Each structure stands twice: as structure tokens, then as C-alpha cells.
Structure 1
């Protein structure tokens, strides 16, 4: 799925978030301590190497909805934007906290004058956020943020799971 909205290309692709060549920043679905973990955080930290952990140490802990930026280290990207998504059913209001992840990541991308950013489906793995609800939050947040974006021209959602990819594709087609 690929769609252009107000001059900004939004697309969904299947793949590995840690292998996104030509993208200025990838967004890490981080834990509060910005350490390697499973899923997206594990893939990003593994590909980036130990320098990422060292750079993250003084930035932690972060709170749900918060975003911080680091260098990309051994990734093919200049930056990693780390967001702590809400644990579904625990961190409330979960929809607002999840929206803040995307909103704050896009604000950092603008602040650093980045052209492209790649997201995963934040909080939909181990944090249990239903993909359908998460995609609706993303759609609403993008509609709010797109008019404010000046430097960001490419927003990519990188999803490994075919089921989640289909949900995000179908939802974002309505932007």
C-alpha cells in the first residue's frame, strides 16, 4: 500500500524494521530502559550493535508516549527514535499514550529535519495492543500531524506479520 497525502508518501511494507536502507530514522518500540529486548527492540539493538545501548543509558528511563532520539550506529539509518508504547489494559489512556508515541516521533523527525521515518506497529506485540485499534490511533494521529510536517515526506510502516500488515494497509488506505 502506498498513498500520497498533502505531498507526503505513506506506505506499508512487509519486512524487518532493522533493515530499512534509505530511511533517515527507524522507530524502536522500546522498553522504558531503552535496552535490548524481544521483537522490534531486539532486532534494532542487535543490528545497531553495542554502541546503541551505551548511547541509550543516560536517556532512560522514558515514560509511555515519550520519544527520544539516538544515532543509528551500525544500522543503515542515521537515527533511531525510541518510543515507549503503552501496555494495553495497564497504561491509560492507552489510545492517547499510543498517539503520543507517533506524534512525538514525528516531532523529533521534524526537529532533526528528517525526510523519512519508518515505524513498526508500536505496542501491538508483547504489550498486547489490538492491531485494529492501534491502526485506528495511527490513522487519527497521522491526519492530525500531516498538515504540520515540513521536512518529513516519507512515512513507512514496516510490519513482519502479514495479518498486522493487512490491518494497517486497509486502515491507512482511508487516510
Structure 2
């Protein structure tokens, strides 16, 4: 049984087996959640990302995919990096956003992670409408864990009241 929780706060302050990073495809840090995770986690995360780029991910990580590294100084064992899609009004990229959540949970299962903290992927600079992003996140996580994930807690960690309200609307039955 997997518990879904909702937290208003800073994802870099979470204690979890794995923290999901809304990364850019370069894996080398950036703004928003990505930059915060790299800054707080320290140089070990960037080193691990550079090693990934030197190996199988020479051209970067594709949208909707996920890969793990050390968590550096974060209170976690791993950071799971996933690249969310940029929102488009002319092309439905919902499946790519859903894939970020599914792939992150797949990687978490491979690692043996039991607690996973997610940000609201693609809802910042990538422009995904918050309510739709929350709906896709919650529906995808519920379906993925129902299909057999060993993760025991999925925590949605959102930064402000607006995001909290959007996720809460899709999580009426969870611990807040």
C-alpha cells in the first residue's frame, strides 16, 4: 500500500530515499527546482551528472525519461532526474509529462527506494498549467503504484499556496 502525501515547502529540505529533480535535458543544473537541488546537494550531484553525460547520456536525457544519481548533501540517498516537457498549446504533450512520473517511480523501484518526493514537474518555467499538471501527476502516480510499485510513500512537495491548492483538489483523500 502506497501513501500519498502533500507538503507545502522546499523539496531540498525533505527527508526521503529519493528526491525527484525537474531537470533540464543537459543534466548539468539550471534554474528553479533543478538549480536548488544542485546548489543544496553540492558538487557530488553535478559530478555524477557529468559522468552520465560522459557515458550513455552524451546528448542529454530525453523528455519523459528518468535517471538517478547520488543525492550529495541532501537528506536522501538518491536524486532521480527527469526532464519534463515544455507546455504547448498546439501539441498534446500530456503523455510525456505522465512519463516523467512513471519513469521516476520505475527508477525508484530499481533502486529500492521506498519514499519518493516529487516536485510539480513542468509547472514552473516550462509553463504547464498548474491544475492540469497536478491532475496528471496524481492520476499517473496512483495508476503506477496500483500497477505494482514497491514505493510506500509518494510525497508531492509544492512551493506555494496556489500549487498546494491545485494538488489538494486532486488529493481529497490524503494526509496533508
- TM-score, structure 2 as length reference: 0.90
Residues 1:127 and 2:126 aligned together: yes
| CA displacement at 1:139 relative to structure 2 | 2.5
Residues 1:47 and 2:40 aligned together: yes
Q: Deviations over 1:72-101 (max 9, x none)?
A: 111110000000000001895410000000
CA distance in 1, matches of 2:28, 2:128: 21
| Alignment counterpart, residue 18 of structure 2, candidates 25, 44, 47 | 25
Change (3 A) 1:102 1:74: same
Asked whether the 8 Å contact 2:101–2:140 carries over to 1, the reply is yes
Q: Name the counterpart of 1:79.
A: 78
Where do 4+ consecutive residues of structure 1 move more than 4 Å?
none
Q: Deviations over 1:132-163 (max 9, x none)?
A: 11111112212321223342000000111110
Change (3 A) 1:157 1:79: same
Q: Which runs of 5 or more residues in structure 1 are unaligned?
A: 1-6
> 3-state SS of the aligned residue for 2:85?
coil
Q: Deviations over 1:41-99 (max 9, x none)?
A: 01100011111111101324011101000011111100000000000018954100000
Of residues 90-99 and 108-117 in structure 1, the stretch that sits farther from structure 2 once superposed is: 90-99
Residues 1:10 and 2:26 aligned together: no
Of residues 67-76 and 138-147 in structure 1, the stretch that sits farther from structure 2 once superposed is: 138-147
| CA displacement at 1:14 relative to structure 2 | 0.7
Asked whether the 8 Å contact 1:110–1:149 carries over to 2, the reply is no
- Give me the CA root mean square deviation: 1.7
Q: Deviations over 1:7-60 (max 9, x none)?
A: 211011011111112x10000000001122111001100011111111101324
| CA displacement at 1:167 relative to structure 2 | 0.5
Q: Name the counterpart of 1:3.
A: none
Change (3 A) 1:101 1:57: same
